[in-house]
Amino acid sequence: AGAVDDVVAALVAAHPYEEPVYDVIARRGEAGFVGRVGTPKGLDTVDALAETVSSELGGVVRVAGDGPVGTVAVVPGSGADFMRAARRAGADVIVTGDVRHHAAREAVESGLAVIDPGHIATERPGVRRLYAAVARAVPAVMDLT
């Protein structure tokens, strides 16, 4: 439900004069990966990457796992649901927020280290860019900071 209900409501609102025809197709299995995967330069351990993430995002990070880093997955917000997809994408570590203890343990057991700087900290950089883009397109947008 949730997002599906929103889409159906928007569809009905867009066609109030007729009964719209639509199909809702349930997807089974894991959702697609919405993050980014890359290779960090000069950050070859989980600890070094965690220190950089903490410094860049300005806060405390929680870390589970250790070892060398070749590939990093980054998922803004609460990305624990994407840890398996990150591992399949070849990531050695995932940077995301809101990772619960058991999910972090499961990730580490699968070979994926976890760096969790928190939900808001992982979204803040994207929100700043989104605000800048909207402000350029719509100059009357107010700064709510």
What is the reported pLDDT for 117?
A: 95
Tokens linked to 83: 């840890």
| Low pLDDT (below 50) residues in the chain | 1, 30
Question: What CATH number does residue 83 fall under?
Answer: 3.40.1390.30
CA atoms of 107 and 88, how far apart (whole Å)? 12
99 in a structural domain: yes
Query: What's the one-letter identity of residue 138?
Result: V
| Proportion of the chain in helix, strand, coil states, percent, rounded to 5 | 40, 15, 40
6 in a structural domain: no
58 in a structural domain: yes
What is the reported pLDDT for 22?
A: 64
CA atoms of 24 and 27, how far apart (whole Å)? 9
Q: What is the pLDDT of residues 110-122, one digit of tens each?
A: 999 999 999 988 8
Q: What is the pLDDT of residues 61-77, one digit of tens each?
A: 999 999 999 999 999 99
In terms of residue numbers, what domain contains 41? 31-137
> N- to C-terminal Cα distance for the chain?
32
Number of independent structural domains in the chain: 1
24 in a structural domain: no
What is the reported pLDDT for 106?
A: 95
